Amino acid sequence: MSREWDRISKDERAIIAPYLEHVPVKVASIARELGIEVKSATLRPRISGQIQRSDLSPSGYRIRVNRHETPSRQRFTIAHEIAHYLLHREQIGDGIEDSILYRSTLSDTREAEANRLGAQLLMPEASVIRTLRELGGRPTTEIARIMAERYDVSESAMSIRLGLS
């Protein structure tokens, strides 16, 4: 796992770890178990998701995801926003709104951190390695397509994860 994973509290890692053993990873279930409310919503054009404070959820945070985007895009958005919660909670303030390029008012460094951890949540390293071995051990565009379907992520996300892009 990455340095972002190491920054998460032991208790939060214990909540998340069992979910990483099965694909596709149930990211909305991870959010709920962390006490984060997840809502599908119509967001402004070019906005994929947001995380903001909420008095109605146990953690005090709510994720809203753009209902007009593809399911695999929504899953990545949820994972990305969970990553902001885990890594940047103290900087969320009134909320973080992420564009379709996963950029927000946070620094590019923090967005890159959220992208890396989000990808790890959806495509856990141990599982990706195991699946890649099952499929022949060598990443190709065809293998990326097969794995993207299995993990319920975009082909481009899986290609990046496999080092093809």
Taking only the tens place, the pLDDT of each residue in 4-44 is 999 999 999 999 999 999 999 999 999 999 999 999 999 98
Q: Do both 138 and 93 map to the same domain?
A: no
> What is the number of structural domains in the chain?
2
In the predicted model, what is the mean pLDDT of the chain? 90
We report the CATH number of the domain holding residue 10 as: 1.10.10
On the question of pLDDT at 106 being above 70, the answer is no
The tokens for 162 are 């496999």
Contact 59, 15 (CB under 8 A): no
Contact 69, 84 (CB under 8 A): no
Q: Do both 133 and 106 map to the same domain?
A: no
Q: Do both 93 and 135 map to the same domain?
A: no
88-110: average pLDDT:
67
Q: Do both 129 and 116 map to the same domain?
A: no
Contact 62, 39 (CB under 8 A): yes
Q: Do both 24 and 79 map to the same domain?
A: yes
How many C-beta atoms surround the C-beta of residue 86 within 10 A? 24
Q: What is the pLDDT of residue 125?
A: 94
On the question of pLDDT at 56 being above 90, the answer is no
Q: Do both 16 and 30 map to the same domain?
A: yes
Q: Do both 106 and 151 map to the same domain?
A: no
Q: Do both 135 and 118 map to the same domain?
A: no
Q: What is the pLDDT of residue 28?
A: 97
On the question of pLDDT at 128 being above 90, the answer is yes
User: Which residue range(s) make up the domain with 52?
Assistant: 3-122
Q: Write the burial class of residue 151 (CB in 10 Å: 0-12 exposed, 13-18 middle, 19+ buried).
A: buried
Q: Do both 44 and 109 map to the same domain?
A: yes
123-151: average pLDDT:
96
Q: Do both 17 and 98 map to the same domain?
A: yes
Residue 94 pLDDT class (50, 70, 90 cuts): low
Q: Do both 115 and 150 map to the same domain?
A: no
On the question of pLDDT at 81 being above 90, the answer is yes
Model pTM above 0.85: yes
Q: Do both 57 and 74 map to the same domain?
A: yes
